């Protein structure tokens, strides 16, 4: 099955183009796209200005990892030797753990202070408002209802080999699965999705199944306002690593057959109930 929101890198490993173009029903104008890109660049500049310099961020990450690894090693050894004996055998490790932990803590404090200082400034607030305004403009141009709910859709980077789907990564990507927030709503027999360029319309009459696949998946980024460890998301047993990747125990596939081609919309597990309510499809446990 073709991923509805997939990037096919079979021929071009740097391909920026999404599959599912056959579902596009509306596209934003070039003027709107350019205006959004200017606002996005301004917002990114301000966000980067709220961070520590790259070198210090690298030192912070390195020291944090070293301190954590040594600390875990010490805890594991306590079953065989006492803390005093461990220190006597390898005092350098204890000092390294302490120094790295202290450096990490100081840099973490400086990072928080800088972030609070920059984000409190008026120009930062204005840059974020401009970006939000451009996003609202895009949604209006695409005809997205104001009450449309934002749903996470998994973007899949892949290639094809002997007719089979193979997951693919490129460059510095840490996972081929990206978590994309898209307004999703129903209009008559159509399930509509919108990104920042297009509105896609998938015929509900062509949908064949909504499945929960009980296999782990690692997707990049968390988009919800509610924390990942909140009560609402606890049943899904989610976790997040140091690279802001979300680890799930399962994922969803909304399957459809359209114009002779089998497609699947990949979804995080916590979005299945809403999609089931919109489409009327029961969730099948795979």
pLDDT per position as a tens digit, 72-109? 888 888 777 777 877 787 888 888 888 998 998 998 88
Tell me, what's the pLDDT at 60?
87
- What distance lies between CA 35 and its chain's CA centroid? 24
Average pLDDT score over residue span 190-195: 96
pLDDT at 151 over 80: yes
Residue 51 lies in a domain: no
pLDDT at 269 over 50: yes
Average pLDDT score over residue span 242-268: 93
Average pLDDT score over residue span 197-202: 96
Residue 101 lies in a domain: no
**Residue 280 banded pLDDT, cuts 50, 70, 90:** very high
Tell me, what's the pLDDT at 9?
80
For the full predicted model, state whether its pTM sits above 0.85: no
pLDDT at 173 over 80: no
Average pLDDT score over residue span 141-155: 95
**Residue 284 banded pLDDT, cuts 50, 70, 90:** very high
Count: domains in the chain: 1
pLDDT at 272 over 50: yes
d(C-alpha 276, C-alpha 215), whole Å: 20
Residue 270 lies in a domain: yes
pLDDT at 130 over 50: yes
Residue 254 lies in a domain: yes
Residue-wise pLDDT for 14-59, tens only, equals 666 678 889 999 999 999 999 999 998 998 888 888 888 888 888 9
Average pLDDT score over residue span 180-193: 96
Average pLDDT score over residue span 155-164: 82
Q: Which of 51, 52, 42 is nearest to 124 (CA)?
A: 42
Residue 46 lies in a domain: no
Share above pLDDT 70 across residues of the chain, in percent, rounded to a whole number: 95
Average pLDDT score over residue span 186-212: 96
pLDDT at 154 over 50: yes
Tell me, what's the pLDDT at 134?
93
d(C-alpha 20, C-alpha 181), whole Å: 17
pLDDT at 179 over 50: yes
Number of CB atoms found within 10 A of residue 32's CB? 18
Residue-wise pLDDT for 216-249, tens only, equals 999 998 999 999 999 999 999 999 987 788 999 9
Sign of CA dihedral 109, 114, 116, 119: negative
Residue 34 lies in a domain: no
Residue 100 lies in a domain: no
Which range of residues forms the domain containing residue 250?
2-28+148-285
Residue 243 lies in a domain: yes
Is residue 282 within 8 A of residue 276, CB to CB? The reply is yes
Contact partners, residue 144, CB within 8 Å, separation at least 6:
183, 185, 192, 194, 199
Tell me, what's the pLDDT at 171?
52
Mean pLDDT taken over the chain: 88
């Amino acid at each position: 099955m073709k991923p509805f929101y997939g990037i096919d890198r079979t021929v071009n490993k740097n391909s920026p183009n999404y599959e599912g173009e056959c579902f596009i029903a509306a596209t934003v104008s070039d003027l709107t796209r350019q205006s959004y890109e200017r606002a996005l660049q301004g917002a990114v500049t301000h966000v980067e200005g709220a961070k520590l310099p790259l070198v210090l961020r690298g030192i912070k990450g390195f020291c944090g990892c070293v301190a954590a690894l040594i600390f875990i090693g010490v805890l594991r050894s306590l079953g065989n030797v006492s803390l005093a004996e461990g220190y006597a055998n390898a005092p350098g490790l204890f000092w390294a753990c302490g120094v790295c932990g202290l450096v990490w803590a100081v840099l973490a404090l400086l990072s928080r202070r800088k972030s609070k200082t920059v984000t409190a400034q008026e120009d930062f607030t204005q840059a974020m408002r401009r970006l939000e305004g451009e996003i609202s403009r895009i949604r209006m141009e695409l005809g997205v209802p104001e009450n449309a709910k934002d749903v996470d859709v998994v973007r899949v980077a892949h290639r094809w080999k002997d007719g089979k789907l193979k997951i693919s990564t490129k460059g510095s990507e840490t996972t081929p699965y990206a978590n994309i927030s898209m307004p999703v709503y129903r209009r008559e027999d159509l399930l509509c999705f919108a990104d920042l360029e297009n509105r896609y319309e998938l015929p509900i009459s062509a949908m064949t199944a909504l499945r929960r696949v009980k296999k782990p998946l690692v997707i990049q980024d968390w988009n919800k306002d509610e924390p990942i460890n909140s009560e609402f998301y606890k049943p899904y047993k989610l976790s997040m690593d140091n690279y802001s990747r979300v680890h799930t125990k399962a994922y969803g596939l909304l399957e459809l057959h359209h114009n002779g081609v089998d497609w699947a919309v990949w979804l995080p597990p916590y979005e299945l109930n809403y999609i089931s309510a919109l489409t009327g499809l029961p969730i099948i446990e795979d």
